[in-house]
Amino acid sequence: MNFEKALAELEQIVTQLEKGGLALNESLALFEKGVRLARYLRAELDKAEKKVEILLKDEKGELKAQDFNPEEISSSSLEEAGEEPEEEK
């Protein structure tokens, strides 16, 4: 199963559970399947994050490749790269 299919299936499960009207056993089975899908999706996102590289300017203004680490990315780094920091919700 690929990421997109798993995500679509999880969305269908959430929709079914939100609609209600299911028997308890059916709801529990869907919930369990949804949890498994969510864990799979999270693991896939974690793997993808480890592969991502970003370009940052060094002190000389040259671009260099660096492993992605979201904790190290500050809003000032984003501004230097010409990107707008995301507003907190």
Predicted pLDDT at 17: 97
The residues pairing with 64 across neighbouring beta strands, listed in sequence order, are 56
Give the residue extent of every domain in the chain: 3-50, 53-80
pLDDT, one tens digit per residue, over 23-74 is 999 999 999 999 999 999 999 998 887 776 666 666 777 777 776 666 665 5
Predicted pLDDT at 9: 98
d(CA 32, CA 37) in angstroms, rounded, equals 9
The answer to whether residues 19 and 54 touch, using CB atoms and an 8 Å cutoff, is: no
Predicted pLDDT at 8: 98
DSSP tally for the chain: helices H, then strands E: 3, 2
- Which pLDDT band, with edges at 50, 70 and 90, does 89 fall under? very low
Q: Which amino acid is at 30?
A: L
d(CA 53, CA 71) in angstroms, rounded, equals 14
